[in-house]
Amino acid sequence: MRLHENLAAALRRLPLATLALTATAVAASSAAAAGFFELTPAALAAGESWRLLTGHFTHFGAEHLLWDAAAFAFLGTLCERDSRPRFLAALALAALAIPAAILLVHPALPSYRGLSGLDSALFALLTATIVRERAAEGGWGWVAVTCAVFALFLGKLVFELATGTAFFLQDDSAFVPVPLAHLVGAAAGLVAGCWTTGQGRVRVGEPEAIS
C-alpha cells in the first residue's frame, strides 16, 4: 500500500503535460511532419485549422528545436509543478493568441513554426507566480530581483521588435524571427499568472504539508 501511494505521489510530481508536449515537439521536428503541421495562412484558408495549434510544435531545424524545447522543458516543469491548470490555461491562451496576432500583423508570412511563443508565456507565468507568492509573504527583495529578470527579458523583446534583428540568429538562418510571437505569448502568460480563482492551486509535487 505504501509503495502504491509513493508511486502515485511520484506520478503526481511528474510534469506529465510538459513531458508530453516536449516529446510532441521532438516528434514533429522532421521536415515532412513540420510541413504538414506548421502554421501557414494558405493552409488555414484551405481549411486546415489544426495548424493553429500544431504550428507551435514544429521547427526549422535541430538548433531551433534544441533551444526552444530546452526552455519549454524546464520552464514547463516549474510552472506545471506549481499549478497544472494555470500552466495549461497559459498555454491554451498563448497558443490561440499568437497565431491570431501573426495572421493579423504579418498576413504575408508564409509560415510560422516554433515553441518559443509558448516559452515566453511560461516565462511570464513563472514571473507572475513568483511575484504573487513572494509579495504575499512580504518578500520584496525577491519581487524586485524577479521583476529585474523579467525586465531583461522584455528589454530583449523590445530590442528585437525595434531593430528587426535577433541575438544569436545568423543572417543565413532558415527563418526570420517573429518577436511579436514572444510579446503576445508573454502577455498571455501574465494574464494566466494573474488568474486567481482560489481553487487553482493544485500543486504538482508540492509537499503535502503545504496544502
Partner 1 sequence: MRIFHVPVLIAAAALLASGPASAAGLLIADGGLGGQLEIEEHDVRVVVNNGVAVTTVTQVFRNLENRQVEALYVFPVPKGASVANFSMWIGGKEMVGEVVEKIRAREIYDSYKRVNRDPGLLEQNDFRSFEMRIFPIAAGAEQRVQVAYYQELDWDHDTATYVYPLATVARPAVQARTKGKFALNLDVKSAVPIVEVDSPSHAQAFVIAKHSENYAQASLETSGGDLNRDLVLSIRVARPRTGLDVIASRPQGEDGFFCLTLTAGEELAVLDKGMDYVFVLDISGSMGQEGKLPMSREALGAFIAGLGDGDRFEVMSFNVKANPCFRTLQPANDAARQEGRAFLAATAAAGGTVLQPAVQAAYRYKDADRPLNVVLLSDGLTEQRDRAELLQLIQARPGGTRVFCIGVGNDVDKPLLEQLAQDAGGLAAFISRDDNFERQAQAFRRKLMRPVAENVRIEIAGVETYDVEPKVLPNLYHGMPVRLYGRYRGGGTAKVTLRADVGSKTTTSTVDLELPVKDGGNPEIERMWAWHRIDGLLREADRTGSREGAIPEIVRLGEGFSIVTEYTSFLVLENDAEYQRWQIARRNATRVARDRSAQQQVAAQLDALRKKASADVGPAEQARPAEAPAPNVATPSGRPASAPRPGDVDFGSGSPAPSGGRSHGGGGGAFDPLTVGIAAALAGLAIAARRRRVESHKP
Nearer to partner 1, 88 or 143 (CB): 143
| Alpha carbon distance 91, 28 (integer Å) | 18
Site size for partner 1, by CB under 8 A?
82
48 binds partner 1 (CB under 8 A): yes
Task: For residue 169, state whether it binds partner 1 (rule: CB under 8 A).
Answer: yes
Sign of CA dihedral 24, 99, 68, 126: negative
Q: 40 with 110: CB under 8 angstroms?
A: yes
Q: Which of residues 89-118 bind partner 1 (CB under 8 A)?
A: 98, 102, 105-118
> Restricting to residues 173-192, which ones interact with partner 1 according to CB under 8 A?
173-182, 185
Instruction: Rounding to the nearest 10 degrees, give the CA dihedral for residues 92, 128, 76, 54.
Output: 20
Q: How far apart are CA 137 and CA 123, in angstroms?
A: 22
Q: Where does 3-108 show beta strands of DSSP type E? A: none
Name which of 12 and 156 has its Cβ closer to partner 1.
156
Quote the least distance from Cβ 78 to partner 1, whole Å.
5
Q: Which of residues 2-31 bind partner 1 (CB under 8 A)?
A: none
Q: Which of 89, 95, 130, 190 binds partner 1 (CB under 8 A)?
A: 130
